[in-house]
């Protein structure tokens, strides 16, 4: 396909893409509960006469465009929302209290559906296969891991995989990424501090887990400031502290939760070991006990293949313009796209959706997160051009 064709065809279906996004946005669903979103994806693919597999990783869907034979590349979009109450003023805001597409996965799904429509209309020009991966549970549920384990990268074997993620702090229509480690490895922390509660007026008759837990929170910060090289990236953030229910009672337990971030899986493991050692030692020193666990999944770092980023960068420049595509630094957010790039080369890029004129100035995971929807058809065009370029390179 010519670049002008991709751009014009994407613009022609812009409102169609927007309506898909708004429908999904009104009905946000949390991880592994994306049944309505999955049904919308399935019905859209069926209308487009695109064969698909459903119920992968519970709600996941994989569409197939092209010959069904190798070479094969994949485009991935995530579908789940966040447990955040929406505070925007858009007329298509979430209809479900406490749930919101605050990370833009509604945009990702809509852009990939747009790409599906254009690629299907031009299927005779595709040499090989494009897999469209609509994935559940990116937000902490490791849906990418389950999709991978259930074989989405096989039959035919996927050679390369690409994904776009909207970014509220980047200007609309810009794109950024880098080769190598783009996003961090992540882990959750849970520390249960056990003491002996009692009357707050007689603290000497208690073993106070709140004081002990507070010491643990402060001391954990020194693992980053005093044990990591200043040139090495790492984060330990305690984000939840729960204890007690009365002003005059020292509780028997205090629970701490948070996150660990590193640019390597080895860094995560090292910090986990030290968190456990420090928390348990402080608890012992204060006559308490600390139970330390790391619940959920440890996400690996998201590492972009150099060749895939060069291809993705070139494809984006064709659509957005040379000056709109740039290199960026690594960031400490995590992404389960990493489960795919553990096995095959891939590239994850950020697409700008910010626009101060419509108050689209908040980044993802914020209750006021908004997007400039003009970016959606651009994202679709980038998807299409990336897929075509990747297959052309693999057939040379």
Query: pLDDT tens, 123-137?
Result: 999 999 999 999 999
Res 11: pLDDT: 98
Domain boundary among 260, 293, 326: 293
Looking at the fold, whether 310 and 286 belong to one and the same domain comes out as no
Domain boundary among 261, 293, 325: 293
- What average pLDDT does range 35-59 have in this prediction? 98
The set of residues, in sequence order, having a beta carbon less than 8 Å from that of 97 and lying 6+ positions away, is 85
Looking at the fold, whether 176 and 203 belong to one and the same domain comes out as no
Looking at the fold, whether 231 and 364 belong to one and the same domain comes out as no
Looking at the fold, whether 171 and 196 belong to one and the same domain comes out as no
Residue 237 CB burial class (10 angstroms; 0-12, 13-18, ≥19): middle
Contact 290, 192 (CB under 8 A): yes
Residue 252 CB burial class (10 angstroms; 0-12, 13-18, ≥19): middle
CATH number at residue 123: 3.40.630.10
DSSP strand pairing (60-66 vs 72-78):
unpaired
Q: How far apart are CA 19 and CA 4, in angstroms?
A: 24
Looking at the fold, whether 131 and 36 belong to one and the same domain comes out as yes
Looking at the fold, whether 165 and 149 belong to one and the same domain comes out as yes
Q: How far apart are CA 319 and CA 326, in angstroms?
A: 14
Res 396: pLDDT: 66
Looking at the predicted structure, is the pLDDT value of residue 64 above 80? yes
User: pLDDT per residue over 216-228, tens digit each?
Assistant: 999 999 999 999 9
User: pLDDT per residue over 261-279, tens digit each?
Assistant: 999 999 999 999 999 999 9
The percentage of the chain sitting over the pLDDT mark of 90, rounded to a whole number, equals 98
What is the rounded average pLDDT for all residues in the chain?
A: 97
Angle between helix 374-395 and 105-121 (nearest 10): 50
Looking at the fold, whether 280 and 338 belong to one and the same domain comes out as no
Looking at the fold, whether 155 and 217 belong to one and the same domain comes out as no
Q: How far apart are CA 365 and CA 358, in angstroms?
A: 18
Residue 318 CB burial class (10 angstroms; 0-12, 13-18, ≥19): buried
Looking at the fold, whether 339 and 245 belong to one and the same domain comes out as no
- What average pLDDT does range 280-285 have in this prediction? 98
Looking at the fold, whether 26 and 141 belong to one and the same domain comes out as yes
User: pLDDT per residue over 21-42, tens digit each?
Assistant: 999 999 999 999 999 999 999 9
**Which pTM value belongs to this model?**
0.94
The number of beta carbons lying within 10 Å of the beta carbon of residue 36 is: 16
DSSP 8-state class, residue 181: E
Q: How far apart are CA 58 and CA 69, in angstroms?
A: 26
Q: Which domain holds residue 218?
A: 185-293
pLDDT band at 198 (very low <50, low <70, confident <90, very high): very high
DSSP secondary structure letters along 272-326: HHHHHHHHHHHHHHTT-EEEEE--S--BPPEEE-HHHHHHHHHHHHHHH-GGGEE
CATH number at residue 221: 3.30.70.360
Looking at the fold, whether 312 and 275 belong to one and the same domain comes out as no
Query: What domain count does the chain have?
Result: 2
Domain boundary among 293, 326, 346: 293
Looking at the fold, whether 50 and 161 belong to one and the same domain comes out as yes
- What's the Cα-to-Cα distance from 60 to each of 29, 145, 181, rounded to whole Å? 13, 12, 26
Looking at the predicted structure, is the pLDDT value of residue 395 above 90? no
């Amino acid at each position: 396909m010519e670049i002008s064709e991709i751009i014009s065809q994407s613009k022609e279906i812009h409102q169609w893409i927007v309506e898909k996004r708004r429908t999904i946005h009104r009905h946000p669903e949390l991880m592994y509960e994306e049944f309505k979103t999955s049904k919308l994806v399935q019905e859209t693919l069926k209308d487009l006469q695109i064969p698909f597999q459903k119920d992968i990783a519970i709600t996941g869907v994989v569409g197939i465009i092209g010959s069904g034979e190798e070479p094969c590349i994949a485009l991935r979009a995530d579908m789940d929302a966040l447990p955040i109450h929406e505070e925007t003023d858009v007329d298509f805001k979430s209809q479900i209290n406490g749930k919101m597409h605050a990370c833009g996965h509604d945009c990702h799904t809509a852009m990939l559906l747009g790409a599906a429509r254009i690629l299907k209309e031009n299927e005779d020009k595709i040499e090989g296969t494009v897999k469209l991966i609509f994935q559940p549970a990116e937000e902490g549920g490791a849906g990418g891991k389950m999709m991978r384990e259930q074989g989405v990268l096989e039959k035919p074997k996927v050679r390369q995989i690409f994904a776009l993620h909207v970014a509220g702090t980047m200007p609309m229509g810009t794109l950024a990424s880098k080769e190598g480690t783009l996003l961090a490895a992540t882990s959750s922390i849970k520390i249960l501090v056990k003491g002996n509660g009692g009357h707050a007026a007689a603290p000497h008759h208690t073993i106070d887990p709140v004081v002990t837990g507070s010491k643990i929170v402060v001391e954990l910060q020194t693992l980053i400031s005093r044990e990591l090289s200043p040139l090495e990236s790492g984060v330990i953030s305690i984000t939840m502290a729960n204890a007690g229910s009365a002003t005059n009672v020292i509780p028997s337990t205090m629970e701490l939760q948070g996150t660990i971030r590193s640019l390597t899986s080895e860094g995560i493991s090292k910090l986990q070991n030290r968190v456990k050692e420090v928390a348990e030692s402080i608890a012992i020193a204060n006559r308490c006990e600390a139970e330390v666990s790391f619940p959920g999944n440890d996400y690996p770092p998201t590492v972009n293949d150099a060749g895939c980023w060069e291809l993705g960068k070139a494809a984006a420049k064709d659509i957005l313009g040379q000056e709109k595509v740039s290199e960026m630094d690594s960031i400490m957010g995590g992404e389960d796209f990493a489960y795919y790039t553990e096995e095959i080369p891939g590239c994850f890029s950020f697409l700008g959706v910010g626009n101060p004129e419509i108050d689209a100035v908040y980044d993802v995971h914020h209750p006021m997160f908004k997007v400039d929807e003009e970016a959606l058809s651009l994202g679709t065009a980038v998807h299409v051009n990336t897929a075509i370029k990747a297959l052309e390179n693999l057939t040379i």
